[in-house]
Amino acid sequence: MTTRLQAQARPESLLLNMGPSHPAMHGTIRIMLELDGERILNSEVEVGYLHRGFEKTCEHRTWFNLLIYTDRLNYVSPLINNLGYVMTVEKLLGLEVPERAQWIRVLMSELSRISDHLTCLAAMAMECGAFTAFLYKMKAREFLWDAIEQTTGARMTTSYIRIGGVRADLHPDFEAVVRRAVDETRKVVKDVRGLLDKNPIFLGRTRDIAVMTPDNALSYGWTGPCLRSTGVAYDVRRAQPYLTYDRLDFEIPVGERGDNFDRYLVRMSEMEQSLRIIEQCLKPLARTVPAPSGIAPAEAIREARRRRPDDPVRLSPNLEGSEKAVYPGIMAGDKRYVLPPKEDAYTTIEGLIAHFKHFMAGHGLRPPKGEAYFAVEGGNGELGYYIVSDGSDRPYRLHLRAPCFHIVSALEELIRGRYVADVIPTFGSMNMIGGELDR
């Protein structure tokens, strides 16, 4: 089949396929280049090599069961994917989430955001030859993923943020682990800036390359760090505050030129702001521990989880943090929409019936007929879900507004007139995630 580029190509030019098997294309993008030597005359970007059928699959899963598919969208920051979906459903249900669960959601989202930026910039630096920066950033990401795993039980596909709250309370030692992760990440950010910010080789690959103007960025539907690199200070957390972001003090970093280097700088600065947010979240979380006063937060959680001698229920270790004692702080109180505590499901007929009805076909969550759109600030920008409910136990229609799809749509324009070598840092600065792009 003749492609658009093949039909328009000049007889004297060279057509070259870059991807999908090229290492920098992540196995999911094909770029056909029309070349005059090494200069790119024209290009055609083809997506769809990792098409998962996410939206259609969700129409055949219940509201609760499709949560696991959101983990596999931007699989570098899955907790933010969870958050966008559950908050859209909660908007349909009119469900209020406990304050402690809201702070936990913000904390987990910012841990994920830093992990996302670290992964993006590590890959971008490595593909430009800066392997040391890659190793530094991966080291910092390990500390963050350790903190996430300690509470959620998983590093990537967590399914932790649930409709009505979160799956479990924070680990008793969570604050100490998070503070260590924050300290280590700050050191890495400082070290990497020393390695790259004034590095002539890195600057030569990024400064004034793939420049995007604010007007063009908006016309393509850019959001997130890529849009902010052009000087537009749009951030969903500020423009349409959700959870407790309106009570937090943080800045919105913006760039000046909209080139590859500004996209790097904005993400580096955003990590510093996310670290500030995480530190601010730890204080209210310490105050909202559901336990007797006068006990240190970590000890309070341990006390709430300690099994009494007369308690006949012994929960599985993988349910730690979701005990009945901590349930009011992590899940909404509306029994129609949330699972009962395991202690009730194991010991009372009402709890057992409520548990079964939550998962039985034709029962479970049944939001009223209507539609809702809700967006959160993802690692790549505005991550929005548009959901239509027909009153049944599964969505009639679910559409994902994937931010990196709009960003990658501008790739052809950004690399036109540049060299083949410029494709690598330009594509890396976009942070294309296959699961989000080819949803």
- Measure the CA–CA gap between 224 and 379, rounded to whole angstroms: 7
pLDDT in tens, 243-286: 999 999 999 999 999 999 999 999 999 999 999 999 999 999 98
What are the C-alpha distances in Å from 131 to residues 125, 134, 138, 264?
Answer: 7, 5, 11, 16
Output the pLDDT for position 300.
57
Output the pLDDT for position 314.
75
pLDDT in tens, 291-346: 443 344 556 556 655 655 455 677 788 888 888 888 999 999 888 899 999 888 88
| 73-81 average pLDDT score | 93
Mean pLDDT, the chain, rounded, equals 90
- 392, 253 contact by CB (below 8 A): no
- Measure the CA–CA gap between 62 and 361, rounded to whole angstroms: 8
Output the pLDDT for position 312.
65
| 379-388 average pLDDT score | 96
The model's confidence at residue 115, banded by pLDDT at 50, 70 and 90, is: very high
- Measure the CA–CA gap between 277 and 346, rounded to whole angstroms: 39
| 380-386 average pLDDT score | 96
Backbone angles phi, psi at 269, to 5 degrees: -70, -35
Quote the pTM value.
Answer: 0.92
Output the pLDDT for position 96.
93
| 215-234 average pLDDT score | 96
| 107-133 average pLDDT score | 95
Domain residue limits, the chain: 54-291+365-437
pLDDT in tens, 176-209: 999 999 999 999 999 999 999 999 999 999 999 9
Backbone angles phi, psi at 288, to 5 degrees: -100, 15
- Measure the CA–CA gap between 322 and 167, rounded to whole angstroms: 7
Q: Which of 2-6, 204-208, 278-282, 350-354 has the lowest mean pLDDT?
A: 2-6
What are the C-alpha distances in Å from 289 to residues 98, 99, 121, 170, 324?
Answer: 12, 11, 36, 10, 14
Question: Quick one: 76 exposed, middle or buried, by C-beta within 10 A (0-12, 13-18, 19+)?
Answer: buried
- Measure the CA–CA gap between 255 and 261, rounded to whole angstroms: 9
**Does the pLDDT at position 387 exceed 90?**
yes
Residues 6 or more apart in contact with residue 183 via CB below 8 angstroms:
none
Q: Identify the residue with better confidence: 87 or 12.
A: 87
CATH of domain 54-291+365-437: 1.10.645.10
Summary count for the chain: helices (H), strands (E): 20, 8
- Measure the CA–CA gap between 177 and 169, rounded to whole angstroms: 15
